[in-house]
Homo-oligomer: A and B are copies of this chain.
Amino acid sequence: MNQRLHNLQAWMKENGIEVSFITSSENVFYLSGFFTNPHERLLGLAMFQEEEPFLICPGMEVNDVKKSGWNHEIIGYSDIDNPWELVLTSINKRIGAVRNAAIEKEHMNVERYEELKSLFPSASFVSAEEKMRKLRMIKDAKELKVMEEACALADYAIEVGCSEIKEGRTELDVLNAVEYALKKKGVTEMSFSTMVLTGANAASPHGNPGNTKIQKGDLVLFDLGVVVERYCSDITRTVAYGDINDKQKEIYDTVLKAQLAAIEVSKPGATAAEVDLTARRIISDAGYGEYFPHRLGHGLGISVHEYPSMTETNQLVIEEGMVYTIEPGIYVPGVAGVRIEDDVFITADGAKVLTNFPKELQILK
């Protein structure tokens, strides 16, 4: 049994949970190595304290589950089977009446919950989500390797984006060129909708790319990420097209200083709040506190937003193996919008930065 299943099992034993029934694609993938989007069909991974786990999925996916490396029981069902009856039988074969079960209460819908409650009338249900988030927060060597690849492609995307900034080009022109170049490299999915923002658009933290032409003297903000083997990267760079004014430069330098300082304090033993506040104080001291309206960053992995949440109030202690973004920003309407974002992996010695496109202000001619 793999380490991830062992970790879930240890939690179940501590909390007297007899069965965990995990149904979200992301968590099934995390625990089993098998990914599918089952749409309206049932996908589930059942884990026990002692007994053999099983995975239930549509029949046509059984071979893919085997190929993914899952070497426990697989239950395939056809469109005329009732998969819930198979779940009931398979659980009852292993354990008697279920009293304490864990499900994903944020993921599971009410319709399924009512089905499950009628199958297991004596069970009470707790949520497995918080535990799953904590397990996923610490990355192993295999996950790091994939995320490094995703980050290298994000760097490449910024490089392409910079080379595409030219007289007369719009935000969408540059965005399309970036995504086209990535597709040629085999990328089939971005972590989220790619952002290329300029001028007034970049000075809003919630702008959307459009037909605005990039003008000399503008800052251009890229925020994008690439998915590699289900893992996300996430990078932001802000570059100048032609010469920019002193105020814009001051804002850029402040964000960069804050970003570097937050990387510096990112190490085991620090808290998320300390890391956020390190950057936030630098920005406040420079007089831009009110223009940094969001948290410093977020964990990254199978989801583009996961634990840890890098806020000024989160007392969570940073540990080896965490991967998170560090992305301070200053957005002054009418003046400039600047954000600089890296993905970092925490080692015993501190943060290893996974995104490596240069951060000194790039002035494109």
Using a CB–CB distance below 8 Å, which chain A residues touch chain B?
60, 103, 105-111, 113-114, 125, 127, 172, 175-176, 180, 183-184, 206
CA distance A206 to B61 in the complex (A): 12
| A59 CB, nearest partner CB in chain B, Å | 13
Which residue of B109, B125, B127, B206 contacts A108 across the interface (Cβ within 8 Å)?
Answer: B109
Interface of A is mostly: helix
- On whether A172 and B176 interact (CB within 8 A), knowing A109-B107, A109-B109, A110-B109, the answer reads no
Which residue of B106, B111, B183 contacts A105 across the interface (Cβ within 8 Å)?
Answer: B111
Contact check, B111 vs A113: say whether CB atoms are below 8 A apart: no
A106: chain B residues at CB < 8 Å are 109-111
Of listed A110, A172, A183, residue having the most chain B CB within 10 A: A110
Chain B: CB-nearest residue to A206:
B60
Which residue of B108, B172, B183, B184 contacts A110 across the interface (Cβ within 8 Å)?
Answer: B108
A172: chain B residues at CB < 8 Å are 183
CA distance A128 to B4 in the complex (A): 39
CA distance A153 to B103 in the complex (A): 43
CA distance A110 to B103 in the complex (A): 9
CA distance A172 to B206 in the complex (A): 32
Chain B: CB-nearest residue to A116:
B110
A110: chain B residues at CB < 8 Å are 103, 105-106, 108-110, 113, 125, 127
CA distance A127 to B115 in the complex (A): 14
Not counting A108-B110, A113-B113, A176-B184, a sample of 7 additional A-B residue pairs whose C-beta atoms are within 8 angstroms of each other reads: A106-B109, A106-B110, A109-B109, A109-B110, A110-B113, A110-B125, A175-B183
